[in-house]
Amino acid sequence: MNLTEVKQSEHADEKPGWLEIVRRQVTSLRYGVVQVVVHDSQVTQIDKTERVRLENLARENQLRPTGEPEVWKQNRTSC
């Protein structure tokens, strides 16, 4: 038995299967990041950050900018 086989057998009984969790998180993303946090050689946390690409949203929904947001207008006049 080589070192790789030993490490695989040590982790074979891990639950719930962090690698499967990472796979599910990755497949659920269109744009974003899945980050695996490790402490003392153990996976302790999995973070998912999803991004919304506005140029794609505009293209898909055929949205066009309509001018300045009202908040920008208010901030400019209050100075």
pLDDT digits (tens, 9 = 90+) for 30-65: 999 999 999 999 999 999 999 988 876 666 666 555
pTM above the 0.85 mark? no
Q: What is the DSSP string of 5-72?
A: HHHHHHHTT-SS-HHHHHHHHHHT-SSEEEEEEEETTEEEEEEEEE---HHHHHHHHT----SS-HHH
Q: Where are the domains of the chain?
A: 3-64
Predicted pLDDT at 6: 46
pLDDT digits (tens, 9 = 90+) for 5-28: 545 555 555 556 999 999 999 999
Predicted pLDDT at 52: 86
Q: Note whether 43 and 64 are within 8 A (CB).
A: no
